Amino acid sequence: MDIVDLSTLPEQDTRYDEFLRQVCDKYEMDHAAYAGMNPAAGTIHGHVTYGDDWKAHYQEQGLHLIDPTLHMSQRSIAPVDWSRLERGKDFQRVFRDAHDFGIPDQGITIPVRGPYGDIGLLSAVRECSRDEWKKLVPNVISDLQSLAVHIHDNVMTSDTISRMLYHPTLSSRELEILQWAAAGKSQQDIGDILSISHRTVEVHLRSSREKLNALTTPQAVGRAIGIGLIYPG
């Protein structure tokens, strides 16, 4: 999964970066970041107010693969305060590096999910005392929640992103066969059910995997269910 820095795209205007800077100003944050991803499409894209040096380092090192703020937020419904993250190996790695670039480990990430498996993460960080932080968060969390929805909604409906996060369109045959696979049928079974060769079934499963960016059929079934394309058998 590669990172795409949207600010480097020629056709991309800078309103998102400005938007994030305004968020910082208004809510007394040092930095703000938005990351959008679609596991099914295998994409990550982001806007940040961090310096270019940190952005470069983050991408070069592939820190997005281990970043605990991303991992945790992807599995949460509610906002995640970074103080609640596990202080594991990955945490040490990412935040030690971040510290070198002057980025604090005090922050919050708000996850927003769309209907196609897309996830938007709005993060805000601030270097200050623990007490100060604990007073600040309750006052801004509600607004940040709304802003997170707003920015993710905008990003997902913009042409630039929808081209990148194209949600997979499986053919009716592919969906039909994937649905039978989710129902526990073997390729041979499905072939018998649909009166086609099990070879053909395998072809459709393969194209389904490719479209869903899945390595295996179990993963494809999981993705398809997560997106709502099929139902659990």
Partner DNA sequence: GAATCTATTGGGGGTTTCCCGTAATATTGG
Partner DNA sequence: CCAATATTACGGGAAACCCCCAATAGATTC
> Under a CB-based contact definition with an 8 Å cutoff, are residues 67 and 97 in contact?
no
Which residue from 3, 24, 66, 149 is in contact with its own copies, where contact means CB under 8 A?
149
- The whole-angstrom separation of Cα 153 and Cα 162 is 11
> Under a CB-based contact definition with an 8 Å cutoff, are residues 148 and 158 in contact?
no
What is the contact mask toward its own copies in residues 65 to 104, using x (rule: CB under 8 A)? Answer: ---------xxxxxx-------------------------
- The whole-angstrom separation of Cα 146 and Cα 150 is 6
What is the contact mask toward DNA in residues 105 to 144, using x (rule: CB under 7 A)? Answer: ----------------------------------------
Q: Count CB neighbours of 184 within 10 A.
A: 8
Q: Binding to its own copies by residue 129, rule CB under 8 A?
A: no
- The whole-angstrom separation of Cα 89 and Cα 3 is 22
Minimum distance from residue 85 beta carbon to its own copies (Å): 17
163 binds, among its own copies, DNA, none (CB under 5 to 8 A by kind): none
What is the contact mask toward DNA in residues 153 to 182, using x (rule: CB under 7 A)? Answer: ----------------xxxxxx--------
Of 3, 112, 9, 121, give the one whose Cα is nearest residue 54.
3
Which residue from 170, 182, 190, 201 is in contact with its own copies, where contact means CB under 8 A?
182
Indicate the angle between helix axes 198-211 and 172-182, nearest 10 degrees: 100
For 228, left (φ over 0), alpha (ψ -120 to 50), or beta?
left
Phi and psi, residue 43, nearest 5°: -125, 150
150 binds, among DNA, its own copies, none (CB under 5 to 8 A by kind): its own copies
Closer residue to DNA, CB minimum distance, 22 or 197: 197
Q: Binding to its own copies by residue 108, rule CB under 8 A?
A: no
Give the chain's radius of gyration (CA, Å): 20
Q: Binding to DNA by residue 12, rule CB under 7 A?
A: no
Which residue from 40, 136, 156, 205 is in contact with DNA, where contact means CB under 7 A?
205
Closer residue to DNA, CB minimum distance, 63 or 214: 214
Task: Write out the residues near DNA by the rule CB under 7 A.
Answer: 169-174, 186-188, 191, 194-200, 202-207, 209, 215-217
